[in-house]
Chains A and B, each alone.
Chain A
Amino acid sequence: MSLLHWAILSPFIAALFIPMLYKRFRKIHTGWFVLVLSILLFIYFFMFLSQTRDGRNVSESLAWMPSLDINFEVYIDGLGLLFSLLITGIGALVVLYSIFYLNKDKEKLNNFYVYLLLFMGSMLGIVLSDNLIVLYMFWEFTSFSSFLLIGYWYQRERSRYGAQKSMLITVFGGLSMLGGFVLLSYIGDTFSIRELVSQNGELITHPLFTPALLLVLLGAFTKSAQFPFHIWLPDAMEAPTPVSAYLHSATMVKAGIYLVARLSPVFAESALWLWLIASVGIVTLFWGSFSAVKQTDLKGILAFSTISQLGMIMSLLGLGAAAIHYESMDEDIYVAATVAAVFHLINHATFKGSLFMAAGIIDHETGTRDIHKLGGLMNLMPITFTITIIGAFSMAGLPPFNGFLSKEMFLASMVSVTEMDLFNMENWGVLFPVLAWVGSIFTFVYSMIIVFKTFTGKYQPEKLKKKPHEAPIGMLIPPVILASLVIIFGLFPNLLSSTIIEPAVAAIQPGAVHVDIAHWHGFRVELGMTIGVIILGVLFYLTLAKWQNIYQLFPAKLSFNRLYDALLTGMERISLAVTRLFMSGFIRTYLVYIFLFFIISLGYTLFRKNALTIDMKNTAPIGIYELVLAGIITIAAIAILFAKSRLTSIILLGAVGYTVSIFFVLFRAPDLALTQLVIETISVALFLLCFYHLPKISRKEERLAFKLNNALISIGVGVIVALIALSSHSSKYFDAISKYYVENAYKEAGGENIVNVILVDFRGLDTMFEITVLGIAAIGIFAIIKLRLTRGKEEG
């Protein structure tokens, strides 16, 4: 077990000690302990930077289930490292923020930090695992810890609803993904991602390749809140704001992005991969930004904006997959899409994290997140205002922030789609830049809403629960750090290019790439598009009040939340109805099912397998006694059915039993005959006992009502059993083993009564357990009669 394994598992180990630390050091905010760990982890991963930069990837293996080829194999390359740095870095900032956000006396901090550490560890596990099964394990860990974090304020109904929703959707995706992984490992005969990548050309020919692709994508899309699985993310905003900032903007929702990027070399050969990812991404981008504008809750806007930005990264990754088809040519515009995706991934984590934290500050200091109640906070909260303006302008894609650069690269890549000449792109490809551009306009509009509706306009102190003032310094440090990163990356993007982006892109698209991000490309199409976005965006924002009405008549019908809710209640209703349909509560109904199944399955098998043979060769001659006895027993049995009183039935039943004992006499079984006679007498006596104790009201002395169904089923059962008995008698393939008993009963066991010798000597074990059965029955009867708790209570 290497240090790297310990690093990944350290959050889990630390989570074990958190409750102890919480109880032991009540004076110290528990978050400080977590902060130390996450900073240490960040430093540790930062040291790998020099290695991955030179392409020296680190790999460590730990045997877990070697016989199943499941090993905890850690692999650090550019992509994994980028994500680890995001997870630990933003994790540290979020923990610092949460120390000031969550009150140490009012909140259950031990729960919070245990969940958060579980999440951090599992996220690290996802991005650093090379084994598909281990990746899946950590994947589900993130789903569960996210569920716990969303439902952190479990007393609130909305929190529980959001947690359940996100759980259902992400676990649905996770399970599909597991299916995809299993198919993939079946095709490639390995669980190792690197080995799968090395045989990428061969995989595509396998018939299971497309199902594997679809299932894996389903997992990635649900986790990364892609259209139409985006609905859980806005409801996850019920979580505490540090959680929203960490999970639902920077890390967990990017797990799907990571998966797509990681498996791109495996699947990118396929046109379906490219098409699905690019189009789902662009639709998500458009839909997310369109829906964000109508939100009135700050976190709601940010949630939809996260969806939209994730769609943007996703579509870029999809287009980046096209690069694999242009290997021979000089053209690297599709590689540029991947570069843009990676770059925007970093940018989004920085500005969205800072925006969430700013929203949390506003919520914390004013008591509301509703933009209708907020306004005019600019002078009261100048630092928060600055942070928000940096984050929002970067999100809108304005210079000189980092969002501008990635948005430019994004638009450039979308324009390049129109030049693509494969997979029918020339027909539909033009939709990509159009949707991207319209989406960017909406992005601009909601970014402006976040800034100006909150901080400018009329100050309405009467609507606010608290008297707003600037947040404490500790709460401001993390967003300030993120906002300064936004500016630093914006001004000096090449700080990132060779250190992080290049190795990450190299992991997504094997082959050397050189990344150089420049502010000024010259007058290109995308610059014009950006100018258009700004002009139209400003125009749209200023006229917001006039056209916002379209949201009221339009999206309410097209809401996927309604569909989800209807699906849940519908499923519940249908399953309830189906269950009620056959679970009638009557034993007779269940007996009908059992017997029908019996008739159908046995009858089908009998005729399907041609097992029905009736051979009269081995039958013994039938004498007159047997005939007479059979006549008696048949008459008695049939008479039971038509008996008027129950007493008659009991007596007839006794007659049947005694006749059976005569059969035993006739077929030379004296011991059986003896036993049968005694037992029959006792059971008739017991029946009489039961008969006497029947309640007077229900003791209706009337004939059994005739029911055709029951008659048919009983005749069917009788016929089937008779047929089976005849067939099995007609097809005896071996001699009986009873000859051995006859020969050896006296010789081996010293007894002349063979039946008794078999019962107590040859096969005495059965007898022992029959005795046990009788013992249990006796004790049971005693218990039923003697131990009547309800009556005892009434009396006592």
Chain B
Amino acid sequence: MFHAILQISLLCVSISMLGLVYRVIKGPSAPDRVVALDAMGINLIAIIALVSMLLNTPAYLDAILLLGILSFIGTVAFSKFLEKGEIIENDRDL
């Protein structure tokens, strides 16, 4: 029963993932894609959590935390890039 629930959830997340991939490809603008990517990162966290339950292992909890950080950093970096054109500002130009 538990197993079936997990699989159904995975399927749902996967479908939403596919939808997000469609959004990434289609665009139409770069922010659309960035938001889609961000959501994909969250979806990935869900997928990894579900898979680790399926595989009955705590080994992927690190990956979940990492992904949380990365998708945040990535989205921030993208946003900054889209807004200012550079990610790391270097005011004190040597």
Interface on A for B, CB 8 Å cutoff?
624-625, 628, 631-632, 635-636, 639, 643, 647-648, 651-652, 654-655, 658, 661-662, 665-666, 668, 670, 673-674, 677-678, 681, 684-685, 688-689, 692
- B63 and A685 contact, CB distance less than 8 A: no
Contacts A/B (CB < 8 Å), 28 sampled: A628-B14, A628-B17, A632-B17, A632-B18, A632-B21, A635-B21, A651-B33, A652-B25, A655-B40, A658-B40, A658-B41, A658-B44, A661-B63, A662-B47, A665-B48, A665-B51, A665-B52, A668-B55, A668-B59, A670-B60, A674-B63, A678-B66, A681-B73, A685-B74, A688-B77, A688-B78, A689-B87, A692-B81
**Complex Cα gap A688–B88 (Å):** 12
Whether A685 lies near B60 (C-beta < 8 A) is no
CB-CB contacts below 8 Å: B39-91 with A: 40-41, 44, 47-48, 51-52, 55, 57, 59-60, 62-63, 66-67, 70, 73-74, 77-78, 81, 85-87
Min Cβ gap A781→B in Å is 15
Query: Contact between B66 and A670 (Cβ–Cβ < 8 Å)?
Result: no
- Nearest-Cβ distance from residue B59 to partner chain A, whole angstroms: 4
On chain B, the residues within 8 Å of A662 by CB distance are 44, 47-48
Nearest to A644 among chain B residues (CB) is B27
Q: In the bound complex, do residue B10 and residue A674 qualify as a contact, i.e. CB atoms below 8 Å apart?
A: no
| Chain B nearest Cβ from A716, distance in angstroms | 27
A residues in contact with B25, CB < 8 Å: 635-636, 639, 643, 648, 652
Which residues of A have CB within 8 Å of B55?
Answer: 668
A689 to B74, CA, bound (A): 13
| Residues B21 and A681 in contact, CB atoms below 8 Å apart | no
Q: Given contact pairs A655-B40, A661-B63, A665-B47, enumerate 5 new A-B contacts (beta carbons under 8 Å).
A: A632-B18, A651-B37, A652-B25, A689-B87, A692-B86
Partner of B85, one of A625, A636, A684, A692: A692
Task: List A contacts of B85 (CB < 8 A).
Answer: 692
Q: Which of A632, A639, A677 contacts B70 (CB 8 A)?
A: A677
A631 to B10, CA, bound (A): 15
For the complex, count residues of B whose C-beta is within 8 A of A.
38
Please give me the 5 A-B residue pairs with the lowest Cβ-Cβ distance, nearest first: A670-B59, A628-B14, A639-B25, A681-B70, A673-B63
Set A635, A648, A688: member contacting B33, Cβ < 8 A: A648
In the assembled complex, how far is the CB of residue B28 from the closest CB belonging to chain A, in whole angstroms?
10
Residues of chain A lying within 8 A (CB to CB) of residue B70: 677-678, 681
Check B30–A631 contact: CB distance below 8 A. Answer: no
A684 to B18, CA, bound (A): 21
Q: What B residues does A668 contact at CB under 8 A?
A: 55, 57, 59
Interface residues of B in 1-52 (CB under 8 A from A): 7, 10-11, 14, 17-18, 21, 24-25, 27, 30, 33-34, 37, 40-41, 44, 47-48, 51-52
Q: How near does chain A come to B16, taking the closest CB pair, in angstroms?
A: 11
Instruction: Tell whether, in the assembled complex, residue B60 and residue A673 are in contact, meaning their CB atoms are under 8 Å apart.
Output: yes
What residue of chain A has the Cβ atom nearest to residue B34's Cβ?
A651
**Interface SS of A by simple majority:** helix
Checking A628, A670, A689 against B62 with a beta-carbon cut-off of 8 angstroms, the contacting residue is A670
Provide the residues of chain B in CB contact with A665, threshold 8 Å. Answer: 47-48, 51-52, 60, 63
Give the distance in Å from the alpha carbon of A187 to the alpha carbon of B35 in the complex: 81
A674 vs B17: C-alpha distance in the bound complex, in angstroms? 20
CA distance A634 to B17 in the complex (A): 14
B interface SS class: helix
Given contacts A639-B25, A655-B37, A685-B77, contact A677 B67 (CB under 8 A): yes
Which residue of A has the minimal Cβ distance to B88? Answer: A689
Nearest B residue to A673, CB-CB: B63
Nearest A residue to B51 via CB reads: A665
- A670 CA to B52 CA, complexed, in Å: 10
Nearest A residue to B78 via CB reads A688
The interface residues of chain B lying within 8 Å CB-to-CB of A658 are 40-41, 44
- Among the listed B14, B27, B34, which residue makes an inter-chain contact with A625, where contact means beta carbons less than 8 Å apart? B14
Please indicate which of the listed interface residues B10, B21, B87 has the most CB atoms of chain A within 10 Å of its own CB: B21
Q: Which residue of B lies closest to A636 (CB)?
A: B21
**Chain A residues whose CB sits within 8 angstroms of the CB of B11 once the complex forms:** 624, 628
Output the nearest chain B residue to A676 by Cβ-Cβ distance: B63
Q: From residue A707, how far is it (CB to closest CB) to chain B in Å? A: 23
| A166 smallest CB distance to B (angstroms) | 63
Query: In whole angstroms, how far apart are the Cα atoms of A678 and B73 in the complex?
Result: 11
B residues within 8 A CB of A670? 59-60, 62-63
CA distance A689 to B85 in the complex (A): 9
How long is the Cα–Cα vector from A628 to B10 in the complex, in angstroms? Answer: 10
With contacts A648-B25, A673-B60 known, is A688 near B87, CB below 8 A?
A: yes
What residues of chain B lie closer than 8 Å to A632, measured between beta carbons?
17-18, 21
Please tell me if the beta carbons of B51 and A625 are within 8 angstroms of each other in the complex: yes
**With A648-B27, A665-B48: A681-B62 Cβ-Cβ less than 8 Å:** no
A53 to B57, CA, bound (A): 101
Taking CB as reference atom, which chain A residue is nearest B67?
A677
CB distance A677 to B63 under 8 Å? Answer: yes
> With A624-B11, A666-B51 given, is the CB distance from A655 to B66 under 8 Å?
no
Q: Are A655 and B60 neighbours in the complex by a CB distance under 8 Å?
A: no
Q: State whether A681 touches B74 (Cβ < 8 A).
A: yes
Given the known A-B contacts A625-B51, A692-B85, are A677 and B66 also in contact in the complex, defined by CB atoms under 8 Å?
Answer: yes
Contact A647–B37 (Cβ < 8 Å): no
Which chain A residue shows the least CB distance to B11?
A624
> Which residues of A are found within 8 Å of B78, using beta-carbon distances?
688
In the complex, residue of chain B having the shortest beta-carbon distance to the beta carbon of A633: B21
Q: Is the beta-carbon distance between A655 and B21 smaller than 8 angstroms? A: yes
How many angstroms from the CA of A317 to the CA of B54 in the assembled complex? Answer: 96
The chain B residue sitting closest to A666, CB to CB, is B51
CB nearest to B50 among chain A residues = A625
Q: How far is the CB of A758 from chain B (nearest CB, A)?
A: 16
Q: How far is the CB of A643 from chain B (nearest CB, A)?
A: 8
B27 and chain A: residue at smallest CB distance: A648
Q: A662-B47, A677-B63, A677-B67 are in contact. Are A685 and B24 (CB under 8 A)?
A: no
Give Cα A654–Cα B86 distance, bound, in whole angstroms: 19
Q: Complex: how many Å from CA A689 to CA B90? A: 14
Set of chain A residues within 8 Å of B63, measured between Cβ atoms: 661, 665, 670, 673-674, 677
In the bound complex, residues from chain A placing their C-beta under 8 Å from that of B17 are 628, 632
Which residues in A have their C-beta under 8 angstroms from that of B34? 651
Most buried by B among A624, A674, A677, A685: A677
Looking across the interface, which residue of chain A has its beta carbon closest to that of B55?
A: A668
Cα–Cα distance between A213 and B32 once the two chains are bound (Å): 82
Residues in chain B near residue A639, CB distance under 8 A: 25
